[in-house]
């Protein structure tokens, strides 16, 4: 349906343990191939729908699973589900690792039983770092077809999950279209739709309106929901002296409700009922950080940490009821304080997967906040954050367009990969090495094909050296042929290899003797 990102890319289904798991296979110009994790999804049918990959698994399980519904319940019962095997095959790991991490609550597989089109994936610190992109209509923009296009676009560049943050009219229809078209988990923030139902008046919200909304979304197949149940009445005064108050939409709505009614947050007081609903459909919680810091000044303050303590309590309550849980995090955090954010979250929330928005490591660069946040994101993921919510260049300023979404997704893919490499994740570095070898050997087309954004890499090369001959030339535009360090370096290598015996002899005289203390020809000495 959609063109691959590069002519030498191919979507291949790899047989694995009775399943067929997709990869992006990169065909290299020397005849080898390199397989990469893919999110892009299969071809659609003529009506725009996806194959119902999970339908037979779900049907079979309904007959034999003894009432166990959620991946957490099944994992605890030592059942290795098809979803676990599928996710493990994508990760290149043992399905038992997926099962045990899910059972321990350190990983989740967001997979609503009504989202049969899903290609399952796993979110947890033992696995590849994932990224989320946001889409959604607003009161004045976008339509259903437009949202499906946005979904395709984000997933094409590598979004592992997509949150539909629609507001305004037609939310139900838009979400239905998005879910039926999505091979990746879809998240929502149900309070947005609930607020529409009460005409935008936060004080008119109620548990009943909210529950109705959640039931509707569960039945459609939403895979995870952000719930701001940790914003308690007693936390609100802690935000009054902040530099940037409450910057989470859901958090501010619930704080406003609490104050208007002088009652405890109904999401908190009805949390156990909410757990029963989510468990019945295997919808995962994404426990929202409604009091996340919106500036460096507010990072790690009393309001944020009080809410995080509450999220720990809610994590335990949800897990007792069989619901999978991840926990959301900031926001804006000075770089030196980034590691403590994830360590506290893991510590207080019993190791639940942490899912952060950035964090931005400075406030002074609006227009560049995909970068200020990628700095924080790479570091927080290096320290164990499981999923990163992307930030686009328009953050704080305006609505992202297609280019902004692409920039945001690719920036977060690179930040996630930086963390995978820094964590020593098995196999992560092989991709860097493959691209670097292509670079050193002047295999330009391979360098483009192996890159995160092949069309952009090629376009930048074409901007200076558009001729096809330049794609095999043993130099590039930066230094030109005379100054090309890599060409000279290859000559050096050739010289060594052709004269290996001579150089071995040299090594025995010039190099080794020198190390032993004799002066080198010029008087050189290693200190």
> Residue 146 annotated as binding?
no
Please state, in angstroms and rounded to a whole number, the distance separating the CA atoms of residues 69 and 323. Answer: 10
Q: What are phi and psi of 175, to 5 degrees?
A: -65, -40
Element housing 186 (H / E): strand 186-188
Asked whether the beta carbons of 1 and 44 are under 8 A apart, the reply is yes
Asked whether the beta carbons of 302 and 238 are under 8 A apart, the reply is yes
Binding mask 10-49 for its own copies (x = CB under 8 A): ----------------------------------------
> Residue 275 annotated as binding?
no
Please state, in angstroms and rounded to a whole number, the distance separating the CA atoms of residues 449 and 463. Answer: 17
Q: Rule CB under 8 A: is residue 505 a binding residue for its own copies?
A: no
> Residue 182 annotated as binding?
no
> Residue 289 annotated as binding?
yes
Q: Which residues pair with 315 in a beta bridge?
A: none
Nearer to its own copies, 170 or 334 (CB): 334
Stretch that binds its own copies, among 105-113, 171-179, 216-224, 421-429 (CB under 8 A): 421-429
State the residue for tokens 């992307």.
Answer: 390
Binding-site residue total for its own copies (CB under 8 A)?
140
Q: Which of 2, 33, 472, 477 binds its own copies (CB under 8 A)?
A: 477
Element housing 328 (H / E): strand 325-329
Q: Which residues pair with 334 in a beta bridge?
A: none
> Residue 291 annotated as binding?
yes
Nearer to its own copies, 33 or 78 (CB): 33
Give the nearest distance from C-beta 420 to its own copies in angstroms: 9
DSSP string, 18-62: TEEEEEEEEEPTTS-EEEEE--------TTSPPP-TTHHHHHHHH
State how beta strands 161-164 and 130-135 pair: parallel
Q: Where are the beta strands (DSSP E) in 381-524?
A: 387-389
Nearer to its own copies, 195 or 222 (CB): 195
Give the nearest distance from C-beta 291 to its own copies in angstroms: 10
Instruction: List the one residue out of 337, 238, 232 whose CA is nearest residue 287.
Output: 232
Stretch that binds its own copies, among 6-14, 27-35, 66-74, 476-484 (CB under 8 A): 476-484
Q: Rule CB under 8 A: is residue 335 a binding residue for its own copies?
A: yes
Q: Which residues pair with 326 in a beta bridge?
A: 286
Please state, in angstroms and rounded to a whole number, the distance separating the CA atoms of residues 406 and 155. Answer: 10
Nearer to its own copies, 58 or 378 (CB): 378
Please state, in angstroms and rounded to a whole number, the distance separating the CA atoms of residues 148 and 180. Answer: 10
Give the nearest distance from C-beta 280 to its own copies in angstroms: 23
For 320, the token pair is 């007792």
Nearer to its own copies, 52 or 233 (CB): 233
Beta carbons within 10 angstroms of residue 397's beta carbon: 11
Q: Rule CB under 8 A: is residue 473 a binding residue for its own copies?
A: no
For 324, the token pair is 């999978």
Nearer to its own copies, 344 or 374 (CB): 374
Give the nearest distance from C-beta 526 to its own copies in angstroms: 6
Q: Which of 100, 144, 206, 490 binds its own copies (CB under 8 A)?
A: 490
Nearer to its own copies, 114 or 413 (CB): 413
For 170, the token pair is 């037609």
> Residue 328 annotated as binding?
yes
Please state, in angstroms and rounded to a whole number, the distance separating the CA atoms of residues 12 and 300. Answer: 45
Binding mask 208-237 for its own copies (x = CB under 8 A): ------------------------xxx-xx
Residues 110-149, interacting with its own copies (CB under 8 A): 138-140
Please state, in angstroms and rounded to a whole number, the distance separating the CA atoms of residues 451 and 250. Answer: 37
Stretch that binds its own copies, among 24-32, 118-126, 155-163, 499-507 (CB under 8 A): 499-507
End-to-end CA distance of the chain: 62
How many residues does the structure list for the chain? 527
> Residue 384 annotated as binding?
no
Nearer to its own copies, 175 or 394 (CB): 394
Q: Which of 18, 480, 501, 516 binds its own copies (CB under 8 A)?
A: 480
Residues 341-400, interacting with its own copies (CB under 8 A): 361-368, 370-372, 374-375, 378-379, 382, 393-394, 396-399
Q: Put the strands of the sheet holding 19-27 in their side by side order.
A: 9-16, 19-27, 33-37
Give the nearest distance from C-beta 225 to its own copies in angstroms: 17
Q: Which of 56, 440, 474, 505 binds its own copies (CB under 8 A)?
A: 440
Q: Rule CB under 8 A: is residue 491 a binding residue for its own copies?
A: yes
Instruction: List the one residue out of 98, 104, 121 whose CA is nearest residue 319.
Output: 104
Q: Rule CB under 8 A: is residue 193 a binding residue for its own copies?
A: no
Burial class (CB in 10 A: 0-12, 13-18, 19+), 170: middle
For 387, the token pair is 């999923």
Which residues touch 452 (CB under 8 Å, ≥6 apart)?
158, 410, 413, 414, 417
Nearer to its own copies, 116 or 310 (CB): 310
> Residue 228 annotated as binding?
yes
Binding mask 271-300 for its own copies (x = CB under 8 A): -----------------------xxxx---
> Residue 363 annotated as binding?
no
Q: Which of 460, 468, 474, 498 binds its own copies (CB under 8 A)?
A: 460
For 93, the token pair is 């790991």
> Residue 484 annotated as binding?
yes
Q: Rule CB under 8 A: is residue 516 a binding residue for its own copies?
A: no
Q: Rule CB under 8 A: is residue 437 a binding residue for its own copies?
A: yes
Q: Which of 244, 301, 302, 321 binds its own copies (CB under 8 A)?
A: 244
Instruction: Please enumerate, by residue number, every residue annotated as part of a binding site.
Output: 134, 163, 192, 228, 248-250, 289-292, 328, 332, 355, 396, 476, 479, 484
């Amino acid at each position: 349906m959609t063109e691959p990102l590069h002519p030498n890319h191919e979507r291949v289904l790899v047989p694995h343990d009775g399943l067929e798991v997709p990869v992006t296979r990169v065909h290299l110009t020397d005849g080898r191939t390199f397989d990469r994790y893919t999110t892009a999804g299969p071809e659609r049918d003529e009506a725009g729908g996806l194959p119902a990959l999970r339908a037979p698994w779900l049907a079979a399980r309904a007959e034999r699973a003894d009432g166990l519904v959620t991946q957490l319940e099944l994992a605890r019962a030592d059942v290795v589900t098809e979803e676990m095997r599928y996710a493990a095959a994508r990760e290149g790991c043992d399905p038992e690792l997926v099962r045990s991490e899910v059972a321990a609550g350190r990983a989740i597989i967001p997979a609503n039983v009504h989202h049969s089109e899903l290609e399952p994936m796993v979110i947890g610190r033992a696995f590849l770092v994932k990224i989320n992109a946001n889409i959604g209509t607003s009161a004045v923009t976008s339509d259903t077809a437009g949202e499906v296009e946005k979904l395709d676009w984000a997933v094409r560049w590598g979004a592992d999950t997509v949150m539909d943050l629609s507001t305004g009219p037609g939310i139900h229809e838009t979400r239905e279209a998005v879910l039926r078209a999505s091979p990746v988990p879809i998240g929502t923030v149900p309070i947005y739709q609930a607020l529409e139902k009460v005409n935008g008046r936060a004080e008119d919200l109620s548990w009943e309106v909210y529950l109705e909304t959640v039931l509707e979304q569960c039945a459609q197949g939403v895979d995870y929901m952000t719930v701001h149940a940790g914003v308690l009445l007693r936390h609100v005064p802690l935000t009054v002296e902040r530099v940037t108050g409450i910057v989470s939409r859901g958090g501010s709505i619930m704080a406003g409700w609490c104050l208007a009614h002088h009652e405890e947050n109904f999401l908190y007081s009805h949390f156990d009922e909410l757990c029963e609903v989510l468990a019945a459909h295997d919808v995962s919680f994404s426990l929202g950080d409604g009091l996340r810091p919106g500036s460096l000044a507010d990072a790690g303050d009393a309001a944020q940490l009080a809410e995080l303590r509450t999220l720990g309590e809610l994590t335990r309550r949800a897990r007792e009821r069989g619901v999978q849980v991840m926990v959301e995090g900031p926001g804006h955090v000075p770089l030196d304080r980034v590691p403590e954010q994830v360590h506290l979250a893991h510590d207080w929330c019993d190791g639940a997967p942490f899912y952060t928005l950035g964090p931005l490591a400075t406030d002074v660069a609006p227009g560049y906040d995909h970068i200020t946040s990628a700095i924080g994101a790479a570091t927080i993921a290096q320290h164990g954050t499981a999923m990163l919510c992307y930030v686009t260049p328009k953050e704080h300023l305006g609505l992202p367009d297609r280019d902004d979404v692409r920039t945001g997704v690719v920036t977060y893919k690179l930040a996630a990969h930086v963390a995978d490499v820094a964590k020593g994740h098995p196999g992560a570095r092989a991709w860097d090495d493959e691209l670097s070898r292509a670079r050193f050997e002047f295999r330009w087309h391979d360098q483009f094909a192996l890159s995160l954004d092949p069309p952009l890499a090629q376009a930048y090369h074409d901007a200076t050296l558009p001729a096809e001959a330049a794609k095999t030339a043993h130099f590039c535009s930066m230094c030109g042929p005379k100054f090309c360090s890599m060409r000279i370096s290859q000559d050096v290598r050739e010289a060594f290899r052709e004269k290996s015996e001579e150089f071995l002899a040299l090594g025995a005289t010039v190099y080794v003797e020198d190390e032993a203390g004799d002066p080198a020809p010029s008087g050189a000495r290693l200190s």
